[in-house]
Structure 1
Amino acid sequence: MDQSFLMMLSNLLHLHNYLDPTTSPILSSTTLSSSAADATSTSAAPLLFFTLASVLSYLASHPPTKKTPKPSSASPSSSSAAVKPPSEFSVAAFRALSTEHIWAMEAPLRDAQWRSLYGLSYPVFTTVVEKLKPYITQSQLSLPSDYAVAMVLSRLSHGLTLKTLASRYSLEPYLISKITNMVTRLLATKLYPEFIKIPVSRRRLVETTQGFQELTSLPNMCGAIDTTPVKLHKISPNTLNSSMYTSKYGFPSVLLQVVADHKKIFWDVCVKAPGGFDDATHFRDSLLYNRLISGDIIWDKAVTVRGQPVRPYIVGDWCFPMLSFLLTPFSYNRTGTPAQNAFDEGLMKGRKSVEEAIGLLKGRWKILQDMNVGLNHAPQTIVACCVLHNLCQIAREPEPEIWKEPEENGQPPRVMENEKSCCYYGESLRQVLADDLYQRLSSR
């Protein structure tokens, strides 16, 4: 029953008790004088008539209507709030879509919609949520785990600012920042060992080297290395050595180094230096370099080329040092011998996999095109995007438009004292591979 109607009846009852004390449970009828009883009895009939008239008047002026209020020009804010549908990004809307409506859709349409919102298909999204949910639950976050992950993915895939995301999801910016930092940290630490691995098992080595040989005609190549500056939206002038973050292209950045296989899947990621560092310096400061130069990583799969054993190696451009485990081109403009030029062409075909992997990374996770996160959280955000990139590549997600990197130029780095023997062996190995490749191509 309508609350206002109940309130009116209650008021009438109090008025009746006030005017007719004989109905009050507090007073005994034996204490009333006969004159008072006569006076109150004469007032009962008018009061009853008044009560019935009020009830009939109320019913006549309040016919049954739908509960949805009509918009009123007098109070636009309240009326619009009453008829406004729930936000597309509210918890309720997300719940309705992900738990009921999503399974009623055709899979291609469902996954296309999910990619447009969060950068990956619904099955891949649920995989991420299932792997992160135990850690998010431990944090006692006030939001559902899948909703928090979806919110962070929308920021990473569209490059949204805290202010935009806070307005869209009706949350405070500080809470958006807290959730973003938590989810990216979990991706960069808990999921990294599972999805970014150096190929040390023989099965993976065979698969990777055979894949590269089909692309390049060069034997035992197991990876391609490259670096890319990840642009920072801004950097505080109070940052220590802030000028070191200015890349060779003129914008503030941090340097990302990756090694990719023939499927454009990263098997090593390093974010350790400001954008002003050169590729060789960044590489020499990485854990991968130290493990390779010290012999901590030794790939057992060796093949014999012209009587020389060739262990698995990675390839890079002329900005990296020539080493026994890292081969670079003879020249950057194909000015070598026919055999050397054939090797350089094959090497660059291998490097194309890592170049395209970086282009897909920045094309899929647009926050890397202009990072609007704090400098302290930039490395973990970049690594988190690399983990998500691998998830998408493993699941064979449709590849987005590739982000075009600026043309790279530079001079070959000088050889360090501790690298001279590795450099000499690498040069010898490179020439053997070049001669063998040229002979095979010439005999076709």
Structure 2
Amino acid sequence: MDQSFLLMLSNLLHLHNHLDPTTTLLSDTPSSTSTAPASLLTSTSAAPLLFFTIASVLSYIASTQQPKTTTKSPSKSPSSSTSQFSVSAFRALSTEHIWTLDAPVRDAQWRSLYGLSYPVFTTVVDKLKPYITQSQLSLPSDYAVAMVLSRLCHGLSAKTLATRYSLEPYLISKITNMVTRLLATKLYPEFIKIPVSRRRLHETTQGFEQLTSLPNICGAIGSTPIKLHHLPNDVANPSMYYCPQGFPSILLQVVADHKKIFWDVCVKSPGGFDYGTHFRDSLLYNRLISGDIEWDKVMSVRGQPVRPYIVGDWHYPLLSFLLTPFSWNRAGNPVQNAYDEALIEGWKVVEEAIGLLKGRWKILQDLNVGLNHVPQTIVACCVLHNLCQIAREPEPELWKEPEESIRPPRVLENEKSSYYYGETLRKALADDLYQRLSSR
């Protein structure tokens, strides 16, 4: 007979002797034994034992037959519980096995799975855990974050993740939406900040000056279309989502510092809009044009007061706070061409930052989430990008943007005074740079 069955019967007999009311009565009150009838002793001991034995045999038979039926089910394979993507496997990797590895090996393994090193991963988990706990999610916080990061890093669909993690696709989407929303709202103010403090502003302008020899640059602005996997059928005007490259998209606008860290992110317009229009719709533009942002650093260049400014390429309007090249094809004079080369050298910082963003978080190469959740997913990836840059994570291969046509924006009526002042600043900076380069 099966040893486990014998052991079960032995345990049941022990349990019966421990719980039987007659046995308890005899042990606790010896005087009662003389008055208790023999029939009562028999009925209070034998009947429950027989009941427990029969029930246990039936339970044992059912339990031994259960695996035979479940193994035939194609939906629940025996290997699913030991999958490398299961909670138990994740726990073993993150809490035990991970600390037996050398740090470079550990972090390389974590990056391949989740797009960032283990210390940065734990930082994200620690910051999101209080909010995830409040949501009463049935999964552990670190497991939920890891699952979402793997989706963002590898561009996986909810259906693919559902198969890997043995969860329903709707639950994968729900957890993805929750984690990306928390990243885009709770962590955004901490990791995406305009450099208004004196120390950070000085560090940023000095960093750009080392790259370009141009003073007081505080950021580089760039935009990119984020490809959408598909458009919902109920979209009112699908054509406005198609960018010049020919695919449906949402525009992402970012401003980066010299370390390729974003200090402003805007996701607002469909891909069919031009970059200048998207810029004018952004909160950053409204704050700059109204003078709401005040940088405490003014320099004098050839008698012109130069406040901190951002640089852009030919897709953006020339303004007092946004300087652009004279021409897009080196068609200017030597002074203008020297300035253009220097400015584009600074602008390439944001081009590379966007390439890193899409290289790290491959979901942005073909965004497979619902249209309502597109903005928060993009912003969440920008927050994670900044975390990686601040932690000096190894930079992946840059995503190469497809070629796009240049659509220089027109100057609006209310921008003319800012445009003329920008022209004056650009000329002063170009003359000053050319003179310094010529005297070397």
What TM-score results when the alignment is normalised by the length of structure 2?
0.84
Unaligned runs of 5+ in 2: 13-37, 43-66
Partner residue in 1 for 2:105: 109
Q: Cα distance, 1:125 vs. partner?
A: 0.2
What CA distance in whole angstroms lies between the structure 2 residues aligned with 1:2 and 1:130?
44
- Equivalent positions of 1:45-444 (< 5 A) are 86-444=82-440
Moved more, 96-105 or 181-190: 96-105
Q: Cα distance, 1:409 vs. partner?
A: 2.5
> Per-residue CA shift, 1:333-373, capped at 9, x if unaligned?
00001010000000100111000000000000000000000
Say if 2:244 and 2:404, in contact at 8 Å, map to a contact too: no
Q: Secondary structure at the match of 1:197?
A: coil
What CA distance in whole angstroms lies between the structure 2 residues aligned with 1:83 and 1:410?
54
- Give, as a single letter, the amino acid of the residue that structure 1 aligns with 2:351: E
What CA distance in whole angstroms lies between the structure 2 residues aligned with 1:173 and 1:418?
50
Distance 1:4 1:349, change over 3 A: same
- Give, as a single letter, the amino acid of the residue that structure 1 aligns with 2:104: P
What CA distance in whole angstroms lies between the structure 2 residues aligned with 1:262 and 1:82?
52
Q: Cα distance, 1:414 vs. partner?
A: 1.1
Distance 1:27 1:119, change over 3 A: closer
Q: Secondary structure at the match of 1:441?
A: helix
Say if 2:216 and 2:308, in contact at 8 Å, map to a contact too: yes
Say if 2:80 and 2:166, in contact at 8 Å, map to a contact too: no
Once superposed, which parts of structure 1, at least 4 consecutive aligned residues long, lie more than 3 Å away? Answer: 4-8, 25-29, 75-78, 80-85
Partner residue in 1 for 2:25: none
What CA distance in whole angstroms lies between the structure 1 residues aligned with 2:289 and 2:228?
32
- Give, as a single letter, the amino acid of the residue that structure 2 aligns with 1:166: A
Distance 1:407 1:152, change over 3 A: same
What CA distance in whole angstroms lies between the structure 2 residues aligned with 1:251 and 1:308?
44
> Per-residue CA shift, 1:187-228, capped at 9, x if unaligned?
000000000000001111100000000000101001000110
- Give, as a single letter, the amino acid of the residue that structure 1 aligns with 2:285: Y
> Per-residue CA shift, 1:271-301, capped at 9, x if unaligned?
0000000001000000000000001012120
Unaligned runs of 5+ in 1: 11-24, 30-70
Q: Secondary structure at the match of 1:2?
A: helix
> Per-residue CA shift, 1:99-148, capped at 9, x if unaligned?
11111110000000000000000000000000000100000100000000
Q: Secondary structure at the match of 1:213?
A: helix
> Per-residue CA shift, 1:380-429, capped at 9, x if unaligned?
00000000000000000000010000123223211111100000000010
What CA distance in whole angstroms lies between the structure 2 residues aligned with 1:379 and 1:83?
37
What CA distance in whole angstroms lies between the structure 1 residues aligned with 2:331 and 2:433?
17
What CA distance in whole angstroms lies between the structure 2 residues aligned with 1:374 and 1:129?
24
What CA distance in whole angstroms lies between the structure 2 residues aligned with 1:374 and 1:205?
38
Q: Cα distance, 1:430 vs. partner?
A: 0.2
What CA distance in whole angstroms lies between the structure 1 residues aligned with 2:259 and 2:90?
33
Q: Cα distance, 1:264 vs. partner?
A: 0.3
Q: Cα distance, 1:318 vs. partner?
A: 1.1
Q: Cα distance, 1:84 vs. partner?
A: 7.3
Partner residue in 1 for 2:4: 2
- Give, as a single letter, the amino acid of the residue that structure 2 aligns with 1:153: L
Q: Cα distance, 1:319 vs. partner?
A: 1.1
Partner residue in 2 for 1:35: none
- Give, as a single letter, the amino acid of the residue that structure 1 aligns with 2:101: M
Say if 2:331 and 2:337, in contact at 8 Å, map to a contact too: yes
What CA distance in whole angstroms lies between the structure 1 residues aligned with 2:412 and 2:258?
30
Q: Cα RMSD over matched residues?
A: 2.6
Distance 1:6 1:403, change over 3 A: closer
Q: Cα distance, 1:5 vs. partner?
A: 7.8
Q: Secondary structure at the match of 1:223?
A: strand
- Give, as a single letter, the amino acid of the residue that structure 1 aligns with 2:364: L
What CA distance in whole angstroms lies between the structure 1 residues aligned with 2:79 and 2:299?
72
Structure whose alpha-carbon radius of gyration is higher: 1
Q: Secondary structure at the match of 1:271?
A: strand
What CA distance in whole angstroms lies between the structure 2 residues aligned with 1:81 and 1:370?
31
Partner residue in 2 for 1:66: none
| Number of equivalences | 391
What CA distance in whole angstroms lies between the structure 1 residues aligned with 2:308 and 2:285?
15
What CA distance in whole angstroms lies between the structure 1 residues aligned with 2:189 and 2:79?
49
- Give, as a single letter, the amino acid of the residue that structure 1 aligns with 2:231: I
What CA distance in whole angstroms lies between the structure 2 residues aligned with 1:314 and 1:158?
33
- Give, as a single letter, the amino acid of the residue that structure 1 aligns with 2:387: L
What TM-score results when the alignment is normalised by the length of structure 1?
0.84
